[in-house]
Amino acid sequence: MRRWLSSVRAKAALGATAVVAVALVAAGTAVLLSLRANLTDQADRQADSVAREVALDIAAGVRGPAAYAGLDLPDEEDHPVQVADEDGRLLAASEKLERISGTGVSAVTPGRPGAVRGGEDREDDDGEDDKGGDRDDDEPGVGEIGDVLGHTTGTAKVDGAAGDYRFAALEVTDRSGRTVVVHAGASLTARDDAVGTAAVAMLIGLPVLLVVVGGVTWLVTRRALRPVEGIRSEMAAITASADLSRRVPEPATHDEVARLARTTNETLAALEAAVERQRRFVADASHELRSPIASLRTQLEVGDAHPELLDVPGAVADTVRLQRLAADLLLLARLDAGETPGAGRLDLAALVREEVSQRATDRVPVASELPDPADAAAEVAGSRGQLARVLGNLLDNAQRHAHASVRVSVTRGADGRVVLGVADDGSGVPEAERERIFARFVRLDDARSRDDGGAGLGLAIARDVAERHGGTLTVGTSPAGGALFELRLPSAGAATG
């Protein structure tokens, strides 16, 4: 049960049902109150009409108290009538009237005791209480009818049937100058029946409507979330099988679920590519490591059997190459793990001077074009060790392919970045291959020996380090016709600011 209630479909259905229930209850209450008020106003108008008809008869012909006994008053149970003088003495009443309350005159038989006016309060049209004995000073003239004094709610029993009524009080002055008050009632049975019927209909219809709303919301939500369930089940299958080549189904719609499916497939594609790169990396690393290890083992085994045949320089070279390859692989692993460079400042020109000084005896000499040592324009922020590795890899690559010269320079670019350039006079890099050479274990010259060509990790490491430092590494054509590698790094001021 708890699991069912925690589902999105259940929450949506319950939420929609609750909102509709609150809205319907509020609307139903407003409708019932409005209906009750309108029917009460209608009863007030009916009572006013009956009271005015009786007042017209009184104003037209009644003279003296005895004449009131002959008034033609309504005797039906819907409209009980009382006529009382200013002292509250009952002068006339409907023939079948047996009991009444709410008019201020409790008597139902003219001339009998108990005709005391003022027993109840009456609310006039202005919303103020009007006691039975209090009237406006402006009484109607002889033969005139005054305004309605107010309306009250009470009860009456007519011909054995009791019910609730709205009473209207109206002043009129007869031909003899006597001012009397006519109390005429209108039954509220129709109002109460209508309000009761509407309330019962709402009480019956509200649960049915809520069930319909909840059911429709459940079905609509279920249909809308069906693709999500398909995505979830497919993701579970992918997780169980570890097959990243599978994809979740994409709905043909253009809603949020379809975008979720597309994003999920893009994520799966990125994961598949990352895993594939990792597999290739492991395979290539294993392949690259196998050769120097096998060569070193062979030389050591030969030396063990025939010490005079041991190639010590070759073994040392293989060991150095193996050490460099292991170091490169470890650095790539740290970069892939998200290692961030330090925040220290270093002079890139000083780093170049130090590196060039160590290559004075190399086969291809390295010339430098550097700013004045006192100029701080070559300062960058980052890891000295990683940037030294980038510089070394770029110079190794240039010397490997240069014919006679390699030139390294440090300048300030137009965008304010520090630019390290390494150019050679070799054959250059074809334009179509200028991005591929930065991939791991890629060597354009497949015919050269591994000993001369390296493992194809230097440029990949250089670009990764450049990107970790917020910079870029690109390759173009040097003025001498060879390759020109440009490393652009933010200056130390821009990096820290």
In angstroms, the CA 390 to CA 383 distance is 11
pLDDT tens per residue across span 79-129: 899 999 888 888 888 888 889 999 888 888 886 544 444 444 444 444 434
Q: Are the C-beta atoms of 142 and 173 separated by less than 8 Å?
A: yes
Architecture of the CATH domain 340-496 = 2-Layer Sandwich (3.30)
Per-residue tens of pLDDT for the chain, all 497 residues: 555 556 777 888 888 888 988 998 999 999 999 999 999 999 999 999 999 999 888 888 766 666 787 787 877 778 899 999 888 888 888 888 889 999 888 888 886 544 444 444 444 444 434 434 444 556 788 878 888 889 999 999 988 889 999 999 999 988 888 888 999 999 999 999 999 999 999 999 889 988 888 888 888 888 877 888 888 888 888 888 888 888 888 888 788 888 888 898 899 888 888 888 777 777 777 777 777 788 778 878 887 787 877 777 877 777 877 887 788 788 877 777 777 776 778 889 999 999 999 988 888 999 998 887 767 678 888 888 889 989 999 999 999 899 999 999 999 888 889 999 999 999 989 988 889 888 877 776 543 444 455 667 888 889 989 998 889 999 999 998 999 999 999 987 665 55
* Partner residues linked to 204 by β-bridges: none
Dihedral-angle region of residue 276 (phi above 0 means left; psi in -120 to 50 means alpha; beta otherwise): alpha
pTM above 0.75, yes or no: no
Domain ranges of the chain: 1-241, 256-333, 340-496
pLDDT tens per residue across span 294-340: 877 887 888 778 787 777 787 777 787 788 778 878 887 777 777 77
Q: Which CATH class is domain 256-333?
A: mainly alpha
